[in-house]
Structure 1
Amino acid sequence: MGYGKRALGGVSALALLAWAGAVHAQDEVTQVEELTVTARRQTENLQDVPAAVSAFGANSLYEDQVETVGDLQSHVPNLSLHVGDASNAVVYIRGVGQIDSISFNDPGVGVYLDDVYMGRVQGSFLDVIDPQQIEVLRGPRGTLYGRNTIGGALKFTSARPTNEVEGYLDATLGNYDDRRFKAVLGGPIASDVLLGKVAFAASRRDGYTKNLLTGEDDGDKDTIAGRISLLFRPTSDFSAYLTLDASRNSPDASRTPHRETPIYSVNTGALRPVIADPDVVEATYNDLEKLKTRGAALTLQYDRGPFTFKSITAYREMEYRTHLDLDSSPDESFGIYDFEDQDQTSQELQVLYKGERLSAVAGLFYFKENDETFAGLVGPDFFVILPGPTYFPFPANTSGLRLAENTSAAAYAQLDYKLTDRASVTVGARYTYEEKWTDNRGEWFDPAVAPSAEDMERLFRTGAGFNVTGFEAEEDWSSFTPKVAFNYQLSDDVLTYVSASKGFKSGGFNGRNTAAAQSFDPETQWSYEAGLKTELAERRVRLNLAAFYQDYKNLQLSRFAADPATGNFVAVFDNAGRANMYGLETELTAVVTPKFRIEANGAYLHSEYDEYIDGGVDISDQRHLVNAPKWSGRLSASYDLDLGDAGELTFTGGVSYRSKTYLTVSSSEVLAQDGYALLDASVVWSQPGGPWSVVVSGRNLTDERYREHAFDLTDSPGVQLGYYGAPRTYSVNVRYRF
C-alpha cells in the first residue's frame, strides 16, 4: 500500500523515534515515502524545501477517500477549509483568510488548479478528480505566487497522460443516498509525441438536513465534472500541455443555516423559537443553486541546458445563481439572491535556472478579471428593529448591479545560492500593481411590482424601482514583497531554516454599498518562520517542525449591522487595524514496522487583534480572529494484513481535534464552536499487482454535531445562524484499474 501523508497530531516525537529505532534492522523496515513538490516552482524533494509545505500524492488521497479539498482540513496543521454559505471555498491558514463569499473581495489564500490562479471563491472548492498531487503552502507566498496569497496557497495538480494506456473505473455508494462515479482513460494518441487523457466524475447526494416546511432535504449535491488533457512532445526539450475542464453543480436546494436564536415574525407578531435539532431547518427560499465553471490552460515548456522557459496561458469563466434563506423561518423576511458571471484571463512567463550552486526563478504575471453580479434581498416580510425593541414591518425587495474589472500585473525573481555544501541563502522579491474599477447601481422595488429576484433583474433600470443609488470608482495599489531565507543542512537528513517574507492582498470597494464609494485598504503581512525538517532512524521517521510569527495589518473584515438612524440592515466591509499570530506546527510519519505506521500533525496558534477600531473605539480586547483555533491536530495509525493470494487489507483509524473556534467577525459566543473531536476509520482491500481495490470508510463515526460556518445578523434582522459540518457518513468504494 502507499505510505502517503495522512497527517498527525498530539504525539511524542521522541517516543515514536525510540520505538521505531528499537524494531527490526533497516533492511527489514520500509522507509517513509519520498515526496516531491513544486512549492518553489522547481521540482524538489519535500525535505529540501525550506518552508512549511504539506503534500498528498494520488495514492494517499484515494486511500483516505479525499473527495473534495475540504477533506484535507484535519490533515494539515493550522488549516481551516470548508464550503461556505454560497458554494464558496472558505480557506484560512494560520488565522489568515477571507470568510465572505461576495465578489468584491478577494480570497486570502490562493487556490491554484494546474498552476492557474482561481480568482473567485465560488468554483474554488474543488472536487478531487484524477489528481497527481495536492500541496498546501503555509504562510505568505508574496514572491513566487503573489496575488492574494497573503495566508498561503493550495495547489491542485492533475495527473498528466503517460506513454502507457491506463485508467480506472471507480464507483462509490454511501449513506444519504451518496452515489459517485469516476472514469479515467489516458495514453498515447500518436506514439510518444501526442498523449491524451480524459477524466469524468459524477456525484449525487441527499442533503444532510431536512426542511421542516416541505419535508424535503436541504443542501443536496448534484455535480458533473470532466477534464481533457493533451500533451504534445515533438522533441525531447519541448512540450505543450493543454487542459480543458468543466463542471456543473445543480442540486435541488441551496444550503440553509440552522437558526440558533429566535427571530421575530411579522406574520405572527411574535418571536419564532429555536428548533433544537441542528439537522432540521425551516426554509422558504432555498429553491435555486447552480454553479458552472469552465477553463482552458496551455503550458508551453522549453528546456535548454540548465534553463527552462515556461509559458502558462489560461482562461476561466464561472456562472453562479442562488437563492439563500437567511432567516431560516416560515416567513419570507430575509431571502438573499446572488447571480454572478465571471471570467478571467491570465498569462505567466517563467525562466528557471538550475546550476551547481545557483538556482533561480524569474517571471512576469498578468491577470484580468471581469465580474457582473446582480444581488439583493427578497423580503416581503422584512422588518426593522427600533428601540424598545419595537419591530416595525418594512417590506423590502432590494437589488444591486455590480460591474467590476480587476487587473493585476507583477514581476518577480527568487535566487537560491549555495554558500557552502551545507549552507544556502534565498533572496526574492515581487513587484505587484493592481487596479480595480467598479460600477455599482442599486434600486428598491415594491414587492407587489417585482415579487421575485428574477422580476427585479428584468425590471432593473427600467424606471419601475425607486430609491435609485449608485457610484463609479477606480483605484490602484502597488506593493513590493520581498523574501529572505537562510537554511543549513545539519546532516544529510536534517535541514534547518529561518525566513522572513511579506504578503500582500489588494484593496477594493464595498460592493454591498450602493450609495457611495466606500473603499478599503490593502492587507499586508510580514511573516517570520524557523523550521526543522528531518528524516531519522534510517528514514523510518519523518519529523518536520515550523515556528512562526506574523505581523498582520489592515485586516479586511465583513460584518453586518443596523443603520443607527433607521434600524435597516447594513453590510459593512472595512479594515480592522492590526493583529499578530504566532505558533508551532509539527508533522510526523513513522514506519514502526513494515506493517504498522503512525502519522500525526499538531498545531498551536496564538492570535489576537492589536487594534480594531469600530465607531472610533478600539474593541480589540473584545474580538477574536475568525477560524483560528488555539489547538488542532490529528493522529492516525495504519496496519497492513497480508492475506496471501487473496490480497492485502489495510486498517486505518484516525482522530482529529480542534479547540474552540470563533466563526464570525463579531466573535459571537452563541455561534462560537467549542472544542470537538472527529473519529474516522477505513479498511482498504487491494490486489498486489492486480486491478481491483475496495475501500470501506466512515467519517465522524461518533456523529458529532459541530458548526463550521456562521452569520451573526443580530442587529438586523435579529438572528444568528449556524452551518453545521457533515454528520456520520460511510461509504463503499470499488475501483478497477487497467
Structure 2
Amino acid sequence: MYPLPTLQQRLTLAQAIRQISCVGVIAGLSSGLQAAQLEEVLVTAQHRAENVQDVPIAISAIGGEELAKSDIFDAGSIAARVPGLSYTEFSPGQGSPSMRGITSTDDGAGLDNSVSLFLDGVYIGRGAAINFDMFDLQRLEVLRGPQGTLFGRNAIGGAISVVTSKPTDEFSAKVGVTVGNEGILRYQGLVSGGLSDNLAGKVSLSHRERDGYVDNVLLNKDQKDEDQDSYRGQLLLTLDNSEWLLSVDYMTDEREDMGRTPVFDRAPLSAIMAANGVTDDLQTVAPFDGFSDREASGISLQGTIDFDQGVLTTITSFRHAETDWAMSSIGAPMGVLGLPFDELIDDIEEDIDTYSQELRWTSKLDGNFNYTAGLYYLNEQTLRREMFQTTSPSTAVPGTLRVATLGDGTIVGNEISITDNETNSYAAYGQGTWDFNEQWSLTVGARYTIDKKDYRATSINCGLDLSGTEFANTPECAGAGSSLGLIAEVFTVEPSDDWSDFSPKISLEYHPNSETMIFASASKGFKSGGFAGSQGVEAAADVPVDPETAWNYELGSKSDLLDKSLRLNTTLYYTDYKDLQTVRFGRVNPSDPFGTFLTTNIGSATIQGAEIELTWFATDRFQLSGNYAYLETDTEDLVINGVDVSGTHLRQAPRNSSSIVADYTLPTDVGDFDFRLDYSYTDQQVMDFLDEEAFLEARELFNARIAWASTDQRWDVSLWVKNLKDEAYIAHVYTVGPGVIGVWGEPRTYGLSVNYSL
C-alpha cells in the first residue's frame, strides 16, 4: 500500500482538477490571425512511437533543429529549456543533474545519480560519462518525475533520453564551422547514405574548443578551458521483418583547471581574498595548475523484429569511461584559511565498464488494449582512486600565497581512497493501457528490481592532528614528518549488500475532445542503495547507504488550441521523498581539522510544484515559446552533525525558474532571415543544508541569434551571442572547512557559425 496525500492536499488537487479542466473549454476556439499550425511531435517515452500530446507524462521534447538554434550541446545546456531541471558541475567528471529538487551529490564508486540519462535507449549512469557532446540529434526527451516503471532504477527524479539521428538511404552530408571570442572554435561534420540495397551507414564528428575564462592571478594564466572531440559511426540494416542498428561512439575531453575559487564576497574569506589580489569576478588564486582528462566510448546493437502481434526489441550495449583529474580543492592556498600549508589538491582517477541487455515486447493489438513488457540486466564495474594531498608546511605562512605543484615539498596530509564496486541489476517490467472508449483510458504498470553491489574500499589516511598527536609512520605516509603532529589510519573493508524494489504506476487519461488530454497519475521511483565514496574512517566506510524512494502524484493537461497554433501543457505534482542520500562535509574524528565528505540517509522531504510549457505560432512568421516551474520543498527529520535543519529547502531546487524564446522569420528573395532572442531565469538555490553562505544566487541570462538560410536550404549563416548582458555568476558552490568554494559560469561569448548541407 502506497502513502496517500493528506486531506488538505487532496482538496488542493481537487480544486486544481476543476481549474485545469477549464482548459478544455477553450479548445475549440480559433484565431483570426494567419498562424501556422504546430507539427505533431513523436516521442518514445513509453517505448512506442506516440504523439507527445497523448502521453500522460510531463515531457519536454526538443527536436534537432531547435537544439541547434538554442546551442544545446550537453547536459548542462538543457536545463535552461526544461522546467524543473537544474544542472551543476563540480568538475567535468562530476556532473550533478537535479529534477524537481531530487539530485545526487556523492560521485563515489558505490552510489548513483538520481536522474537517469539514456543514449539511444542505453543507460549512462556515472557522472564521468553523462556530460558528452550532444551533436547530430533527432530529438531530446526529458521526462520529469519518477520513471521507475519503464526506465527503472535511479530514474527517481526523472529521465533524459537522447535520440541520435539515424543513417539515411539517400546520400547526405553536412559540415559546419563556428568561431568566436574566448578562442572559440567548433566544427562538425557528417556523411550518411546507402551502402547497398538494405544497408545504410553514417559517420559524424564534432570538435569543441575554447580558451579559459577564469584569470588565475597567482599563476598568471587563464583556466576553465574546453577541448573536446566526439565521433559516432552507425550501420543500419533493414530486412523484410526486422531492423538492426549498430552504433559506435567515442569522446575525448582534455581541459586545464576548473578555476575553482573561494567566493570572496561571502564571509569569512572576503577580506583575506581581497588582500591577496582577488577583487574582481572570474578570478582565482589557486596555487596548483590542474587538469582534467576524460574518455568515453560505447558500442550498442539494437534490433527490432516485427511480428503480427507486436515488436520484439533487443538492446545490447557495452560502454567504457575513464577520467583523470587533479585540481586545487579550494581554489586557493591553505594559508587563506589560516593554516600553515600550501595547498590541498584533489587527484582523482576513475575507470568504468558497463554492460547492459534489454529484451522488450511491444504489442500492436487491434483492440482497445496494448502493452509493453520487458527484462533488463546491467553489470557495472567502477574502480576509483581519490587522493587528497596537502603539501609543504615548512615554507608556507598562514594567510599568504605560494605556488604549489603535485608532490611539491613535504607531504603533511595524504588521504588515499581506492574503491572498487561491482553492480549487478536485474529487472522485469510491464505496462498496459486500456482504452475504455474514445475519451477515457487507464494505464497500469510495474517494475520489480533487484540490485546487488559488491564493494571494496581501501583507505590510507595520513590525517592532521594539530593538538600534537605523534605521527604513525606507515610506508604510504613516509616523509610526512611529525613537526605538526600527524595521525594515520589504514584499513580495507569489503562489504556487500542487495536491495529489491517494486515500482508501480497508475494513470487515468481523459480526452474531452480531440485537442485536449487531462491525466492524473501516481508512480513510484527507486534509487539504489550503495556505499559512500572516499570515507576516511573505517566505521563510516563499512556501512551501506539505504535506497531512496519517491511516490509522485501528478495532475496534468495537454492542449493544442487556436486551430493548433497554440500548445499549452500544465502539470501539478506532489512528491513524498524518503531516505535522502545526502552528502555533508563533517568530521567523524573530532581531531581532524579538515574533515571529509560523508554520505548517509537523513530525513525525508515533501515536494510540490507546478509547471507550464507553451508554444504559440502567433503568425506564420512569429513563434513564442516558454516555460515556468514553481517548486516548494519541505524537509523533515533532517539532522546533520547534531544540528536539526528540518524545514530547509532542498539542495539545487530553485523555487522559480522560467525561460522565454521569441523567434521571427522573414522570408526574402535571397533566403530566410531568422531573428531569435531567448531569456532564462533561475531562482536562488540552496547548496548546503548547514551553511547559509553556500547558495547560488538568482540569475538572468539572455541569448540572441540572427541567421540567414539560402533559398535552397543548403547554406545557413548565423551571428550569435550568449550571456548577452555579460552577467558574472557562480555556477556551483560547496563548503570546505570555513570557506565557500565556487566555480564560475561562462561569461559573454559571441561568434559566427556557417553550415553547408548536401
TM-score, L = length of structure 1: 0.89
1:262–1:527 distance in 2 versus 1, CA, 3 Å: closer
* 1:143 has 2:149 as partner: yes
Distance 2:259 2:163 in 1: 29
- Which amino acid in 2 is paired with 1:167? A
Distance 2:75 2:116 in 1: 13
Deviations 1:75-133 (A, max 9, x none): 11111024332433221111011133333321000011111001201120121211011
Q: Is the CA contact (8 Å cut-off) linking 2:92 and 2:131 kept in structure 1?
A: no
The equivalent residue for 2:306 is 303
Distance 2:230 2:745 in 1: 24
Q: Is the CA contact (8 Å cut-off) linking 1:578 and 1:612 kept in structure 2?
A: yes
- Which amino acid in 2 is paired with 1:712? T
Quote the offset at 1:274 in angstroms: 8.0
1:143–1:463 distance in 2 versus 1, CA, 3 Å: farther
Q: Is the CA contact (8 Å cut-off) linking 2:108 and 2:384 kept in structure 1?
A: no
- Which amino acid in 1 is paired with 2:78? L
Distance 1:398 1:495 in 2: 56
The equivalent residue for 1:315 is 318
Q: Is the CA contact (8 Å cut-off) linking 2:446 and 2:502 kept in structure 1?
A: yes
Quote the offset at 1:22 in angstroms: 4.4
The equivalent residue for 1:112 is 118
The equivalent residue for 1:673 is 696
- Which amino acid in 2 is paired with 1:23? G
The equivalent residue for 2:357 is 347
Deviations 1:578-599 (A, max 9, x none): 1011011000011011111111
Distance 1:543 1:271 in 2: 49
Per the alignment, in what secondary structure is the counterpart of residue 78 of structure 2?
helix
Q: Is the CA contact (8 Å cut-off) linking 1:680 and 1:700 kept in structure 2?
A: yes
Distance 2:711 2:106 in 1: 47
RMSD of Structure 2 on Structure 1 (CA): 2.6
Per the alignment, in what secondary structure is the counterpart of residue 239 of structure 2?
strand
Q: Is the CA contact (8 Å cut-off) linking 2:519 and 2:555 kept in structure 1?
A: yes
Task: Select the residue among 736, 739, 748 that pairs with 1:728.
Answer: 748
The equivalent residue for 1:636 is 661
Gaps of 5+ in 1: 1-12, 384-392, 448-458
* 1:196 has 2:201 as partner: yes
- Which amino acid in 2 is paired with 1:304? F
Moved more, 703-712 or 54-63: 703-712
Moved more, 429-438 or 652-661: 652-661
Distance 1:178 1:103 in 2: 34
The equivalent residue for 1:443 is 460
Moved more, 79-88 or 606-615: 79-88
Matches for 1:50-129 after TM superposition, within 5 Å: 50-129=56-135
Distance 2:661 2:200 in 1: 38
Distance 2:75 2:256 in 1: 23
Task: Select the residue among 492, 510, 513 that pairs with 1:470.
Answer: 492
1:610–1:535 distance in 2 versus 1, CA, 3 Å: same
Per the alignment, in what secondary structure is the counterpart of residue 47 of structure 1?
helix
Task: Select the residue among 383, 389, 394 that pairs with 1:372.
Answer: 383
The equivalent residue for 2:646 is 620
Moved more, 422-431 or 333-342: 333-342
- Which amino acid in 1 is paired with 2:189? A
The equivalent residue for 1:336 is 346
Gaps of 5+ in 2: 1-21, 335-341, 395-409, 465-474, 481-486
Q: Is the CA contact (8 Å cut-off) linking 2:109 and 2:419 kept in structure 1?
A: no
Matches for 1:17-36 after TM superposition, within 5 Å: 21-24=30-33, 28-36=34-42
* 1:660 has 2:665 as partner: no
* 1:423 has 2:440 as partner: yes
Moved more, 154-163 or 460-469: 460-469
Quote the offset at 1:270 in angstroms: 11
Q: Is the CA contact (8 Å cut-off) linking 1:378 and 1:398 kept in structure 2?
A: yes
Aligned length: 690
Distance 1:271 1:568 in 2: 23
1:597–1:275 distance in 2 versus 1, CA, 3 Å: same
The equivalent residue for 1:8 is none
The equivalent residue for 1:520 is 545
Distance 1:443 1:367 in 2: 31
1:262–1:651 distance in 2 versus 1, CA, 3 Å: same
Q: Is the CA contact (8 Å cut-off) linking 2:325 and 2:349 kept in structure 1?
A: yes
Task: Select the residue among 526, 540, 550 that pairs with 2:575.
Answer: 550
Distance 2:213 2:246 in 1: 38
Distance 2:528 2:494 in 1: 18
Deviations 1:225-271 (A, max 9, x none): 10000011132x1111110000000123344244435789xxxx999
Q: Is the CA contact (8 Å cut-off) linking 2:565 and 2:616 kept in structure 1?
A: yes
1:239–1:270 distance in 2 versus 1, CA, 3 Å: closer
Q: Is the CA contact (8 Å cut-off) linking 1:625 and 1:662 kept in structure 2?
A: yes
The equivalent residue for 1:711 is 734
Distance 2:420 2:490 in 1: 16
The equivalent residue for 2:296 is 293
Distance 1:382 1:581 in 2: 47
Distance 2:444 2:476 in 1: 53
Q: Which 4+ stretches in 1 moved above 6 angstroms?
A: 269-272, 459-465
Per the alignment, in what secondary structure is the counterpart of residue 397 of structure 1?
strand
Q: Is the CA contact (8 Å cut-off) linking 1:316 and 1:344 kept in structure 2?
A: yes
Per the alignment, in what secondary structure is the counterpart of residue 280 of structure 2?
coil
The equivalent residue for 1:326 is 329
% identity of equivalent residues? 31
Distance 2:75 2:173 in 1: 22
The equivalent residue for 1:453 is none
Distance 2:706 2:601 in 1: 48
1:526–1:275 distance in 2 versus 1, CA, 3 Å: same
- Which amino acid in 1 is paired with 2:741? L
- Which amino acid in 2 is paired with 1:400? S
Matches for 1:573-612 after TM superposition, within 5 Å: 573-612=599-638
Quote the offset at 1:566 in angstroms: 3.7
Quote the offset at 1:610 in angstroms: 2.0
Quote the offset at 1:613 in angstroms: 2.3
Quote the offset at 1:272 in angstroms: 6.9
Deviations 1:297-335 (A, max 9, x none): 000110112300011000001110000212212453311
Distance 2:216 2:411 in 1: 26
Per the alignment, in what secondary structure is the counterpart of residue 195 of structure 2?
strand
Per the alignment, in what secondary structure is the counterpart of residue 371 of structure 2?
strand
1:573–1:274 distance in 2 versus 1, CA, 3 Å: farther
- Which amino acid in 2 is paired with 1:721? I
1:591–1:382 distance in 2 versus 1, CA, 3 Å: farther
Q: Is the CA contact (8 Å cut-off) linking 1:224 and 1:247 kept in structure 2?
A: yes
- Which amino acid in 1 is paired with 2:740? Q
Matches for 1:40-51 after TM superposition, within 5 Å: 40-51=46-57
Per the alignment, in what secondary structure is the counterpart of residue 85 of structure 1?
coil
Task: Select the residue among 470, 475, 479 that pairs with 2:501.
Answer: 479
Quote the offset at 1:148 in angstroms: 0.3
- Which amino acid in 2 is paired with 1:686? A
Deviations 1:527-586 (A, max 9, x none): 000000000011010000000000000011111123424434122111121101101100
The equivalent residue for 1:133 is 139
* 1:533 has 2:558 as partner: yes
Q: Is the CA contact (8 Å cut-off) linking 1:81 and 1:89 kept in structure 2?
A: yes
Distance 2:374 2:476 in 1: 44
Quote the offset at 1:395 in angstroms: 1.9
Q: Is the CA contact (8 Å cut-off) linking 2:609 and 2:631 kept in structure 1?
A: yes
Deviations 1:36-87 (A, max 9, x none): 1111111100100011000111111112222223222121111102433243
Task: Select the residue among 191, 215, 220 that pairs with 1:215.
Answer: 220
Q: Is the CA contact (8 Å cut-off) linking 2:369 and 2:434 kept in structure 1?
A: yes
TM-score, L = length of structure 2: 0.87
1:649–1:446 distance in 2 versus 1, CA, 3 Å: same
